[in-house]
């Protein structure tokens, strides 16, 4: 299970992470990230995280850290399958 941390000293509570996360937002039954009262982003359900790193990539304050992400949890498809590389250009 990924470990998701929101660095409170950096977070500006813009809500971009909540809106862009495919596992959060208004349509999610069990959202990963939640914007509490428009003042604080918190992790609600870390088990629902699929490890896409969208929240990390689009956080304007670099306030989200995800660690302990395995290659592919059992029973889940890999979002970004890897393939062997024979040479780097």
Instruction: List pLDDT tens digits, range 3-19.
Output: 999 999 999 999 999 99
Q: Which tokens belong to 38?
A: 């428009």
Q: What is the mean pLDDT of residues 32-50?
A: 89
Neighbours of 30 (CB within 10 A): 10
HEC profile of 45-72? CHHHCCCCCHHHHHCCCCCEEEECCCCC
8 A C-beta contact, residue 15 and residue 80? no
Q: Which tokens belong to 44?
A: 């609600």
pLDDT value for 75? 45
Domain ranges of the chain: 3-67
This prediction's pTM? 0.69
Domain 3-67 part of CATH 3.30.70.20: yes
Q: Mean pLDDT for the chain?
A: 81
């Amino acid at each position: 299970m990924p470990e998701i941390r929101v660095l409170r000293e950096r977070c500006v509570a813009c809500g971009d992470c909540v809106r862009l996360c495919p596992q959060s937002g208004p349509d999610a039954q069990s959202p990963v990230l939640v914007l509490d009262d428009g003042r604080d982003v918190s992790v609600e359900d870390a088990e629902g995280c699929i490890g896409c790193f969208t929240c990390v990539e689009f956080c304007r304050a670099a306030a989200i850290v995800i660690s302990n992400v395995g290659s592919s949890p059992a029973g889940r498809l890999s979002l970004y399958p890897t393939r062997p590389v024979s040479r780097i250009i």
